[in-house]
């Protein structure tokens, strides 16, 4: 069985994947003779991909996410599934935060799915050309490339959410407000950091470098970041954590250090969790409807498919809201946060 992909053929000839797909679909393209020779030389066997390209539809829409263990992405998939309808089905691909796996998945999906809904790992200047080469309808969710106008997208109002969270802590009397943020190279990471800083500036509070920690949206990253904040000479009295997994890690760090919430430190997270009301104290969060993001992304994808690619890119924004529970309170300036450093 051949392991040669359509991407291999395109690279061999020096044309785009879209050109190869048009050739396989029976259209007249440039370099036809070279393409034919490359297919023979590389022993490329399009099989299902070619049949699907000729028939025009597979009835399958792929959803590509970086981390399916994250409840947010699980909700995205659930929302998309609710809107896919009876004539289509979903293929879930988890890239495990690997650019290599993402690229391989897209090349293998070509010709086997009608379109892709995805949270891209690549958001730099190479992103648009990378995604464009596959010739598939793509709808971005949660993240976009720098040239994201070329693709439809469904995002969250990240800056607004972070601004609301920070402003809420300020209204509680806090001035030493830290943020555990995501990678600034990502859409949510950058925009949430922007919202945090704009809220501080609006209230005349100086943004202190030691109070902002760029992490990686993981539970372990949240744990390590919170430990760093607790070791500051003047620890913050409140912390805004920029996603659900990092919030879990931060809470574990506070528990392990014996720091009480909200008596010694207030904490507010981004994204609600199913058990947020069950933890002690219940967690205050910035909530968004991830299922709505997924269903809107699917609606856009179906619209593109039904219009045969004639629909221009569309962009929508899901709103956010503050859910007040019990993890935030007035600052206890008289209480020194214990770091519980243990000498062995």
**Residue pLDDT, tens place only, 187-230:** 999 999 999 999 999 999 998 899 999 999 999 999 999 999 99
**342 pLDDT tier (thresholds 50, 70, 90):** very low
Query: In this predicted structure, what is the pLDDT of residue 148?
Result: 65
Q: Which stretch of 95-99, 118-122, 277-281 has the lowest confidence by average pLDDT? A: 118-122
Mean pLDDT of 68-86: 93
| Calpha distance 42→70 (Å, rounded) | 40
Q: Look at residue 171 and give its three-state secondary structure.
A: helix
In the predicted structure, residue 291 carries a pLDDT above the cut 50: yes
Report percent pLDDT > 90 for the chain. 58
- pTM of the predicted protein model: 0.79
What are the CA-CA distances from residue 281 to residues 98, 255, 262, 326, 333 (Å)?
36, 12, 8, 5, 20
Tell which wins on pLDDT, 258 or 28: 258
Tens-digit pLDDT profile for residues 243-269: 999 999 999 999 999 999 999 999 999
Joined tokens for residue 74: 């699980």
Q: How far is it, in rounded angstroms, from Cα 188 to Cα 46?
A: 38
The band of 146, judged by pLDDT with boundaries at 50, 70 and 90, is confident
User: Which residues contact residue 322 at a Cβ distance below 8 angstroms, ignoring those fewer than 6 apart?
Assistant: 164, 165, 168, 284, 285, 286, 287
- For residues 186-201, one letter each, b for 16 or more C-beta atoms within 10 angstroms of the residue's C-beta and e for the rest, the string is bbbbbbbbebbbbbbe
* CATH numbers and ranges of domains, the chain: 1-56 (1.10.260.40), 158-288 (3.40.50.2300)
Mean local confidence (pLDDT), 129-154: 80
Alpha-carbon distance 288 to 79, whole Å? 13
Closest CA to 320 of 281, 273, 278, 270: 270
Percentage of the chain beyond pLDDT 70 is 87
Taking residues 15-23, what's their average pLDDT?
Answer: 83
pLDDT at 127 > cutoff 70: no
Give buried/exposed letters for 122-148 (b at 16+ CB in 10 A, else e): bbeeebbebbbbbbbbbbbbbbbbeeb
């Amino acid at each position: 069985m051949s392991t040669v992909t359509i991407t291999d053929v395109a690279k061999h000839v020096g044309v785009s994947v879209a050109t190869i797909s048009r050739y396989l679909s029976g259209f007249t393209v440039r370099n036809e003779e070279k393409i034919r020779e490359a297919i023979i030389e590389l022993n490329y066997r399009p099989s299902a991909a070619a049949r699907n390209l000729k028939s025009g539809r597979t009835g399958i829409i792929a959803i590509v996410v970086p981390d399916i263990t994250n409840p947010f992405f699980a909700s995205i998939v659930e929302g998309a599934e609710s809107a896919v309808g009876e004539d289509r089905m979903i293929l879930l691909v988890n890239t495990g935060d690997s650019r290599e796996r993402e690229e391989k998945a897209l090349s293998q999906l070509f010709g086997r799915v009608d379109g892709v809904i995805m949270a891209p790992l690549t958001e730099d200047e190479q992103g648009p050309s990378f995604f464009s080469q596959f010739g598939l309808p793509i709808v971005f969710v949660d993240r976009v490339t720098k040239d994201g106008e070329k693709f439809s997208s469904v995002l969250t109002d990240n800056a607004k959410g972070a601004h609301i969270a920070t402003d809420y802590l300020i209204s509680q009397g806090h001035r030493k407000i830290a943020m555990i943020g995501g990678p600034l190279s990502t859409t949510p990471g950058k925009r949430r950091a922007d919202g945090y800083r704009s809220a501080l500036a609006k209230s005349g509070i100086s943004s202190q470098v030691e109070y902002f920690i760029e992490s990686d949206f993981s539970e372990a990253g949240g744990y390590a970041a919170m430990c760093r904040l607790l070791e500051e000479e003047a620890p913050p009295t409140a912390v805004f954590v920029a996603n659900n997994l990092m919030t879990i890690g931060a809470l574990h760090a506070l528990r392990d250090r014996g720091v009480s919430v909200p008596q010694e430190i207030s904490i507010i997270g981004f994204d609600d969790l199913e058990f947020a009301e069950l933890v002690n104290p219940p967690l205050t969060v910035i909530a968004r409807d991830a299922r709505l993001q997924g269903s809107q992304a699917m609606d856009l994808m179906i619209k593109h498919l039904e219009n045969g690619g004639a629909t221009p890119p569309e962009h929508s924004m899901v709103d956010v809201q503050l859910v007040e529970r019990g993890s935030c309170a007035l600052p206890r300036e008289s209480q020194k946060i214990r770091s519980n450093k243990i000498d062995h």
